[in-house]
Amino acid sequence: MSARFENRVAVVTGGVSGIGAKITERLLTEGARVVVADVNEELVSTASERFGENVTAVRADVTREEDVQSVVDAAVSTYGTLDVMFNVAGGSKAGSLLDVSAEDWDFTVKLNLYSAFYGTRSAARAFIAEKKPGAIVTIASLNSLVPMFFGVGYTASKAGAAMLVKQSALELAEHGIRVNAVSPGLVSTPMTGGLTSIPGVQEAYMERIPLGRAADPSEIAAAALFLASDDASYISGENLVVDGAWAVSGYPDLRPFLG
């Protein structure tokens, strides 16, 4: 394994489970010191034991700007600097356009879009205060480009997060700050396991994914670390789709299974 992040400090929201945990693990193997954030107190309390001494864990609700700022502040106060920000935390409450409640819409948009906004701005301000370049990577979704049934809040908020990446890349380029997104397709995580365990759903997905399988979280982490590394030093404002060629075949109609 390379040492692309030797002596660098990274923040990973949602960094103790799913894709975020794999990003944390990969950063550590490449020499980084990492501040991870999660709303789950139990996961936060065991993070150092799980990941080792080069990890600091902070409980944070990423839908609250002050919480996200506290995570960035923890990186600077603990390790003296910040080099990379990964906006990973996300999720949704399912709903269709005609039926989703205002509360579920707000929850999903805040978790996916507001959190990315707070993380991007807090990290950018930290980089600028130090007068140094930096890299920001947001985990968006294939649904930033492709709609799906029962996902109106998720698709809209992920599309917003992807455009936020482009807007941020435009505004922050003069400061040497690069901003990119990774848009995964189906990934084998606990979050997707509840959906794919419904009879027929897994098969419906596989019919549409040319590579014939879900991604492992480590494959998404590899793409995210590439964009954050010096290997991508001239890449900014991009939304890298990592989906096993799923986008070229279209989304399955899940209404027979979930309606």
- Of the candidates 112, 117, 135, the one whose C-alpha atom is nearest the C-alpha of residue 14 is 112
For tokens 């400061």, what's the residue?
Answer: 175
Beta-bridged to residue 137, according to DSSP, are 86, 180
Pick the catalytic residue from 79, 118, 154, 251. Answer: 154
Please tell me the distance from the alpha carbon of residue 250 to that of residue 136, in angstroms, as a whole number. 29
- Of the candidates 107, 60, 50, the one whose C-alpha atom is nearest the C-alpha of residue 88 is 60
Question: Percent helix, strand and coil across the chain, each rounded to 5?
Answer: 50, 15, 35
Reply yes or no on whether 154 is catalytic.
yes
Report CA-CA distances (Å) from 237 to 43, 52, 109, 111, 170. Answer: 32, 33, 21, 21, 7
Which residues are part of the catalytic machinery?
A: 154
